[in-house]
């Protein structure tokens, strides 16, 4: 009997089998820790995709004014689904939208099933994200300074430009909280810009370099100087002469350095011609006045779209005059301008597009000399607090066009005309007066 008691005592006192028990118990937190690492990494990926999709949805609905919560929910859901493909990610996400005045708040939620953390009773991980967009309420004036030279008629450039520009109008118009908060001007250019013959008697025009042609005006008579009439060399039999005959409404660069400034011309007759705009005659064979006219700032979106549709491509390139008149459109009191005075609640922006090198201005056909004028007007515009987006289409001086932009991120260069659609969409979105506030 004593032997049995001794064996039993030794069995209870033996510690050699405890290792397996201790390891089994210790393995639980080890497995849980490893599982946590895997599951948390998966959760991080899901959260990143969730937040990116939420921000895309927030920007989309932030620009949609006059919509109910239900309408915003539908719009946001479409953008959310496009950026958060639940079937590929394997974790469904839910989205909710609420608006309060100028603030739109979006929340997203997803539940991630764990793979190994279940051994410690954690079967799912809750992932949530919130995004808030504030409609800033700032007003916006935009001048579209668009190359309408002959080269824009090739490779579908003008066709794509028209579509892209009209799409931009649609986007920025939706960002206006009230009618008139966003206005757009259109400045087509080649070596000239066209103000239109309706301004023939404007004080800001000068005619000292204009050579009349034809016999129009004042009753359809000739175009004779009084001395020629007295000598019998000219007959004004049709009625009074018109010293502006043959003008099609185009103007050239102002005298240097006013060609790169927004100095206002005299409000009345008299004074120096240096700040006035020289009328450009439409000489035989000159296609540079075959332009669409300038359209001052407006929020008549239908009229703006029609004006863009009516643009035509002709003539040579002088980017300086296009930028100068874009600046005019944003300058209070300048010719044709409907611009408001600068204030903290107003952004002024030029979107400048060209597809080639400078080839001709009022004085020269030297590209380098014209480039110097363009560089100067770009510098002066930016110094006045106006932002510039610049777009190079296939050709043109990349350095000049890039440096004209307010910063490198506001410069775009495309190799095919079709890329303009996405470029203008990107610019339109940044112009839409929205910001992700949280």
Among 128-142, 302-316, 358-372, 424-438, the range scoring the smallest mean pLDDT is: 424-438
Task: Identify the pLDDT of residue 118.
Answer: 66
- Please state at what angle helix 420-431 crosses helix 157-174, rounded to 10 degrees: 20
Among 15-19, 39-43, 356-360, the range scoring the smallest mean pLDDT is: 15-19
Q: H-helix or E-strand containing 387?
A: strand 387-393
Give 338's pLDDT tier (boundaries 50, 70, 90).
very high
DSSP three-state, residue 325: helix
Task: Tell whether the model's pLDDT for residue 395 goes beyond 80.
Answer: yes
DSSP three-state, residue 355: coil
Task: Tell whether the model's pLDDT for residue 184 goes beyond 90.
Answer: yes
Instruction: Find the mean pLDDT for residues 56-64.
Output: 75
Task: Tell whether the model's pLDDT for residue 270 goes beyond 70.
Answer: yes
Task: Identify the pLDDT of residue 230.
Answer: 43
Task: Identify the pLDDT of residue 200.
Answer: 93
Task: Tell whether the model's pLDDT for residue 49 goes beyond 50.
Answer: yes
| Domains located in the chain, CATH noted | 2-134 (no CATH), 139-207+244-436 (3.40.50.410)
Task: Identify the pLDDT of residue 218.
Answer: 37
Handedness of CA 205, 208, 213, 214 (dihedral sign): positive
pTM, full prediction: 0.69
Task: Identify the pLDDT of residue 305.
Answer: 97
Q: How many whole angstroms separate alpha carbon 314 and alpha carbon 292? A: 10
Instruction: Find the mean pLDDT for residues 30-53.
Output: 73
Instruction: Find the mean pLDDT for residues 197-214.
Output: 89
Residue 111 CB partners (closer than 8 Å, separation 6+): 91, 92, 124, 125, 126, 127
Each residue's pLDDT tens digit, 228-265: 434 444 444 444 477 888 899 999 999 999 999 999 99
Task: Identify the pLDDT of residue 222.
Answer: 41
Instruction: Find the mean pLDDT for residues 142-166.
Output: 94
Task: Identify the pLDDT of residue 129.
Answer: 85
Task: Tell whether the model's pLDDT for residue 221 goes beyond 50.
Answer: no
Residue 322 CB partners (closer than 8 Å, separation 6+): 145, 146, 147, 187, 188, 189, 193, 352, 354
Q: What is the mean pLDDT of the chain?
A: 82
Q: How many whole angstroms separate alpha carbon 295 and alpha carbon 363? A: 26
pLDDT: is 284 or 304 the higher one? 304
Task: Tell whether the model's pLDDT for residue 295 goes beyond 70.
Answer: yes
Give 133's pLDDT tier (boundaries 50, 70, 90).
confident
- Tokens representing 221 are 């008579």
């Amino acid at each position: 009997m004593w032997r049995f008691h001794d064996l039993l005592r030794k069995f209870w006192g033996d510690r050699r089998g405890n290792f397996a028990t201790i390891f089994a118990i210790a393995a639980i937190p080890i497995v849980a820790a490893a599982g946590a690492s895997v599951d948390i990494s998966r959760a991080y990926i899901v959260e990143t995709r969730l937040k990116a999709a939420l921000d895309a949805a927030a920007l989309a609905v932030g620009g949609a004014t006059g919509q109910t919560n239900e309408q915003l929910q539908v719009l946001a859901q479409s953008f959310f689904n496009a950026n958060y493909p639940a079937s590929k990610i394997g974790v469904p996400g839910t989205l909710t939208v609420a608006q309060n005045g100028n603030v739109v708040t979006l929340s997203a939620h997803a539940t991630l099933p764990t793979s190994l953390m279940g051994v410690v009773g954690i079967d799912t991980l809750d992932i949530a994200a919130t995004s808030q967009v504030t409609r800033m309420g700032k007003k916006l004036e935009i001048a579209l300074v668009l190359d309408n030279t002959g080269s824009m008629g090739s490779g579908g450039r003008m066709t794509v430009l028209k579509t892209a520009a009209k799409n931009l109008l649609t986007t920025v118009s939706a960002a206006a909280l009230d009618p008139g908060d966003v206005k757009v001007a259109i400045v087509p250019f080649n070596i000239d810009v066209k103000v239109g013959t309706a301004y023939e008697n404007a004080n800001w025009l000068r005619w000292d370099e204009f050579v009349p042609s034809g016999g129009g005006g004042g009753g359809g008579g000739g175009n004779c100087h009084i001395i020629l009439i007295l000598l019998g060399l000219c007959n004004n039999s049709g009625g009074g002469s018109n010293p502006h005959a043959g003008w099609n409404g185009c103007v050239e660069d102002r005298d240097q350095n006013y060609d790169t400034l927004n100095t206002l011309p005299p409000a009345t007759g008299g004074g120096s011609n240096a700040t006035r705009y020289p009328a450009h005659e439409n000489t035989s064979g000159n296609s540079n006045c075959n332009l669409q006219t300038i359209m001052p700032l407006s929020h008549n979106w239908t009229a703006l779209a029609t004006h863009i549709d009516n643009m035509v491509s002709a003539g040579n390139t002088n980017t300086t005059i296009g930028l100068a008149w874009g600046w005019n459109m944003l300058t209070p009191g300048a010719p044709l301008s409907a611009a408001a005075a600068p204030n903290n609640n107003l952004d002024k922006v030029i979107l400048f597009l060209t597809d080639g090198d400078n080839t001709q201005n009022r004085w020269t056909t030297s590209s380098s000399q014209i480039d110097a004028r363009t560089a100067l007007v770009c510098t002066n515009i930016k110094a006045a607090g106006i932002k510039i987006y610049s777009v190079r289409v296939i050709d043109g001086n990349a350095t000049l066009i890039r440096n004209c932009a307010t910063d490198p991120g506001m410069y775009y260069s495309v190799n095919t005309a079709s890329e303009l659609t996405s470029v203008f969409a990107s610019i339109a979105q940044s112009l839409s007066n929205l910001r992700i506030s949280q």
